[in-house]
A and B are shown apart, each in its own frame.
Chain A
């Protein structure tokens, strides 16, 4: 196939300031998708109007051959869609902040709080019923459409729509590409020429090997980080979860230090990505009750508050740009979400390997078959084909299997509004292993109560 049909791409959460500016830019810049339609759907009509104006202006200024539609009706967006991209934020930032704040009072300091732990669980309980109702709508309105999910918690959301619908879909997180880029930057080698193999769960994915011209990239990266006296460096500014900015003794500013990932690499022989703020949440040793994560690891537990603050600035810029003033923004990330490239691979049957979140089904034999894992997947016209990568080292396999147990229980708790299953999920999460079971239980109850308005299945 070398000619594309015009496709209809529906964004559920289309006013997302994190994702939409990047997606719009990427798709507009990708000429082979000319003639296609972007449908922005969001329940926040004010933000949706601004974002639609923003994308329309970008379209006009670049002379791109795309149509833009916008709607607050999900059914309208899904009808006839070829691709559905989910970018919504479950329950909104304020409830999320509330949940993570409650966990903090119990001594659990989550640097990211979007994957696992109390924050990840609560985001899952809110987001999973939404994603399941989206895919169930898709079965009626666009049964052949493919779903790309970008919403967190990635693993349990992806598990949920695979378990509860026949819609074909994957979860995509650019984290691993960010880390490979970081290896390249720190070692001053071209990231695109690094050969690597990785597998695990989203936000705790194990790079088992990475090489560049016969060089051992992981060992060199470790040595490079270890050579700096980060411990004596001052914290220059707080960055996001994966990029604490530290000034080292030679006065160079680095965005990488990674004491936790380095410890895990020494221990298991594989490098966990995408960075300390995420990977610390999957093991019990680093950020439990009573640990000083700021002093020891330069991690902070106020990520969501800072994120909310930062978003205000970004939104101001988006509003200005939508009115024709100032530059276009590019969201939080460099463009490596690849939605346009995956659609291209499918439309033109040009197989492309992308790190995606899919159901394991034997691709990693020593991880449970039902687990949602992140690994290389071949994307082509027939769909998504996980690549058999073989066994993980036993330690990382154990961590992955435990993460699956939490995914599994989170999904069932969310779908059934079942407090007991939610308690089981939280009690099996390594972040609560420093709590008494009774404390875990009252932590859960406090969070459920605080997020009551966005948890109808638990309270109706």
Chain B
């Protein structure tokens, strides 16, 4: 057992907090620990504090819950800092995607790459690097775990600009594995998945079940159901099945999404964030009700985030392996060393150790290297408030390959202007 301090920056997050609090409060090894919810949104923070408080009572958990708007208080002497906020919020995200749409670019998701991912990165990277810098003073031994998008470039920014050990976590591949297990009617834990790539375009090369590769069977089942046509086309062409789903992976290839092409062809629609926001309001109402003791607790996701196991594997040197986002540094030899990749990572008391994956098929490595170039320029543009680098990052992105250079520049300027309030490094 260990009594530790785990602080959430973005502690009122309705996407993550219900799941995380359930995971951590159910974990007996963490008895005596403190969970700190830090957020700048007082109203939501109060509700989330009550919600987590009710969960503590229901689970009879021996954990202290603290809510604060003071980031320094949350960070001081923390053992783990978990980043769950969304830079700029949904309103501003909607603005970016709508500007891209006005230039003929639909985004099914718009949070990893493309115009939406770039602008989220420009907003979030300096904020999160500043948190890590503060950690160097207030909790230099702590580990940082980021759930915020764009996953890859945020982790690259952290690795490049801070000495704090950090890692990025996305449950995407876990969710897909559960889905595949259900399709096959076998237990999830019996599937051995070999996968590597970048977050939201992570390539499954093989799935072993009782020693047999069942990936071809899964692909056939998806084909019969007419599901994930873009991912299957990538698999047929390049030999790796990209996850987690068409909605994400489409954004990494120029064939599916470009100016003037309708996502409808691939069974997708533009991500109208306004619609998401309406759904979120409904979801928040149920959290509010639960916090007030009415109705049951909510489930935002099935619990595949495994934050409890990730924390315990570090604390108790459990040597567990997770799919995480870390610096490549040779784990995939044909992907540039300074690319943030998503692959198996051993977590022990010493830290996060990427497990050598070996070569990816060459075309797949190339997709990762293009993504790596976008990560690299996004981070430098964000940290230096450099419009020219931001333009280079956008132009290196497959989503704009069919556009004129001038128009890409114009689209970027419109987005920067719209996000001015969140981009002090570009405008101050």
A-B residue pairs, 4 tightest by C-beta: A405-B366, A398-B373, A433-B401, A284-B401
Q: With A405-B369, A408-B362, A423-B237 in contact, is A284–B380 under 8 Å at CB? A: no
B-chain residues with CB within 8 Å of residue A401 when the two chains form the complex: 336, 366, 369-370, 373
Contact for B392 among A268, A368, A435, A436, CB less than 8 A = A268
- Asked if B377 contacts A395 (CB within 8 A), the reply is yes
What is the 8 Å Cβ interface bit string for chain A, positions 208-251, against chain B (1 contact, 0 not)?
A: 00000000000000000000000000000000000000000000
A409 within 8 A of B: yes
Contacting A at CB under 8 A, from B330-367, are 334, 336, 338, 362-363, 365-366
B-chain residues with CB within 8 Å of residue A133 when the two chains form the complex: none
The listed residue with most B CB atoms (<10 A of its CB), out of A268, A401, A409, A435, is A401
| Interchain CA distance A402-B237 in the complex, whole Å | 18
B427 within 8 A of A: no
| Interchain CA distance A182-B114 in the complex, whole Å | 38
- Asked if A405 contacts B392 (CB within 8 A), the reply is no
| Interchain CA distance A430-B370 in the complex, whole Å | 12
- Asked if B395 contacts A285 (CB within 8 A), the reply is yes
- Asked if A394 contacts B403 (CB within 8 A), the reply is no
- Asked if B392 contacts A424 (CB within 8 A), the reply is no
B117 within 8 A of A: no
Contact for A267 among B338, B369, B391, CB less than 8 A = B391
A-chain residues with CB within 8 Å of residue B334 when the two chains form the complex: 368, 370
Contact for A434 among B362, B376, B377, B401, CB less than 8 A = B401
A-chain residues with CB within 8 Å of residue B362 when the two chains form the complex: 405, 408-409, 412, 424
- Asked if A402 contacts B255 (CB within 8 A), the reply is no
A427 within 8 A of B: yes
A interface with B by C-beta (< 8 Å): 263, 267-268, 284-285, 288, 366, 368, 370, 394-395, 397-398, 401-402, 405, 408-409, 412, 420, 423-425, 427-428, 430, 433-437, 440
Chief secondary structure at chain A's binding surface: helix
Can you list 6 A-B pairs, Cβ within 8 angstroms, ordered by A? Answer: A284-B401, A366-B336, A395-B373, A427-B363, A433-B254, A433-B255
B408 to chain A, nearest CB (A): 8
Q: A284-B254, A368-B334 are in contact. List 11 more A-B contacts (CB 8 A).
A: A368-B336, A395-B373, A398-B369, A398-B396, A401-B336, A405-B365, A408-B362, A409-B362, A428-B366, A430-B401, A437-B255
Contacting A at CB under 8 A, from B358-406, are 362-363, 365-366, 369-370, 373-374, 376-377, 380, 388-389, 391-392, 395-396, 398, 401-405
B-chain residues with CB within 8 Å of residue A368 when the two chains form the complex: 334, 336, 369
B123 to chain A, nearest CB (A): 20
B-chain residues with CB within 8 Å of residue A394 when the two chains form the complex: 373, 376-377, 380, 389, 392
- Asked if A285 contacts B396 (CB within 8 A), the reply is no
B-chain residues with CB within 8 Å of residue A402 when the two chains form the complex: 366, 369-370
| Interchain CA distance A439-B391 in the complex, whole Å | 29
A86 to chain B, nearest CB (A): 25
| Interchain CA distance A402-B380 in the complex, whole Å | 20
Contact for B237 among A408, A412, A424, CB less than 8 A = A424
- Asked if A285 contacts B403 (CB within 8 A), the reply is yes
A-chain residues with CB within 8 Å of residue B405 when the two chains form the complex: 263, 267, 285
A55 to chain B, nearest CB (A): 42
B365 (CB) vs chain A CBs: closest residue: A405
B157 to chain A, nearest CB (A): 14
A424 (CB) vs chain B CBs: closest residue: B363
- Asked if B366 contacts A284 (CB within 8 A), the reply is no
Q: With A285-B395, A424-B238 in contact, is A398–B370 under 8 Å at CB? A: yes
A-chain residues with CB within 8 Å of residue B336 when the two chains form the complex: 366, 368, 401
B-chain residues with CB within 8 Å of residue A412 when the two chains form the complex: 362
The listed residue with most B CB atoms (<10 A of its CB), out of A424, A425, A436, is A424
B396 (CB) vs chain A CBs: closest residue: A398
Contact for B404 among A285, A397, A408, CB less than 8 A = A285
Chief secondary structure at chain B's binding surface: helix
B140 to chain A, nearest CB (A): 30
A-chain residues with CB within 8 Å of residue B398 when the two chains form the complex: 433
B8 to chain A, nearest CB (A): 33
A390 to chain B, nearest CB (A): 15
Q: With A268-B392, A405-B366, A437-B233 in contact, is A284–B402 under 8 Å at CB? A: yes
B254 to chain A, nearest CB (A): 4
Q: With A394-B392, A395-B396 in contact, is A288–B255 under 8 Å at CB? A: no
A-chain residues with CB within 8 Å of residue B255 when the two chains form the complex: 427, 433, 435-437, 440
| Interchain CA distance A435-B365 in the complex, whole Å | 21
Q: With A368-B336, A402-B366, A408-B362 in contact, is A395–B395 under 8 Å at CB? A: yes
A-chain residues with CB within 8 Å of residue B376 when the two chains form the complex: 394, 398
B330 to chain A, nearest CB (A): 11
The listed residue with most B CB atoms (<10 A of its CB), out of A395, A408, A430, is A395
- Asked if A428 contacts B395 (CB within 8 A), the reply is no
B109 within 8 A of A: no
| Interchain CA distance A440-B401 in the complex, whole Å | 15
B266 to chain A, nearest CB (A): 11
B20 to chain A, nearest CB (A): 36
- Asked if B363 contacts A405 (CB within 8 A), the reply is yes
| Interchain CA distance A36-B124 in the complex, whole Å | 67
A403 (CB) vs chain B CBs: closest residue: B366
| Interchain CA distance A434-B395 in the complex, whole Å | 14
B5 within 8 A of A: no
B412 to chain A, nearest CB (A): 12
B258 within 8 A of A: yes
B161 to chain A, nearest CB (A): 16
| Interchain CA distance A267-B255 in the complex, whole Å | 25
- Asked if A437 contacts B237 (CB within 8 A), the reply is yes
A411 (CB) vs chain B CBs: closest residue: B362
A-chain residues with CB within 8 Å of residue B374 when the two chains form the complex: 398
B234 (CB) vs chain A CBs: closest residue: A437
B137 to chain A, nearest CB (A): 31
B233 (CB) vs chain A CBs: closest residue: A437
A261 to chain B, nearest CB (A): 13
A276 to chain B, nearest CB (A): 14
A269 (CB) vs chain B CBs: closest residue: B388
| Interchain CA distance A288-B402 in the complex, whole Å | 7
What is the 8 Å Cβ interface bit string for chain B, positions 252-277, against chain A (1 contact, 0 not)?
A: 00110010000000000000000000
| Interchain CA distance A267-B365 in the complex, whole Å | 26
B370 (CB) vs chain A CBs: closest residue: A402
- Asked if A267 contacts B392 (CB within 8 A), the reply is yes
- Asked if B402 contacts A434 (CB within 8 A), the reply is yes
A-chain residues with CB within 8 Å of residue B388 when the two chains form the complex: 267
| Interchain CA distance A405-B404 in the complex, whole Å | 24
A434 to chain B, nearest CB (A): 5
- Asked if A434 contacts B396 (CB within 8 A), the reply is no
The listed residue with most A CB atoms (<10 A of its CB), out of B258, B336, B338, is B336
A49 to chain B, nearest CB (A): 44
A-chain residues with CB within 8 Å of residue B395 when the two chains form the complex: 267, 285, 395
| Interchain CA distance A408-B359 in the complex, whole Å | 13
B366 (CB) vs chain A CBs: closest residue: A405
A365 to chain B, nearest CB (A): 9
A-chain residues with CB within 8 Å of residue B380 when the two chains form the complex: 394
A132 to chain B, nearest CB (A): 18
Contacting A at CB under 8 A, from B145-179, are none
A-chain residues with CB within 8 Å of residue B401 when the two chains form the complex: 284-285, 288, 430, 433-434
A-chain residues with CB within 8 Å of residue B392 when the two chains form the complex: 267-268, 394-395
A260 (CB) vs chain B CBs: closest residue: B405
| Interchain CA distance A433-B398 in the complex, whole Å | 8
A436 (CB) vs chain B CBs: closest residue: B255
A-chain residues with CB within 8 Å of residue B238 when the two chains form the complex: 424
B-chain residues with CB within 8 Å of residue A284 when the two chains form the complex: 254, 401-402
A-chain residues with CB within 8 Å of residue B233 when the two chains form the complex: 437
B63 to chain A, nearest CB (A): 45
| Interchain CA distance A427-B72 in the complex, whole Å | 50
Contact for A428 among B363, B373, B396, B404, CB less than 8 A = B363
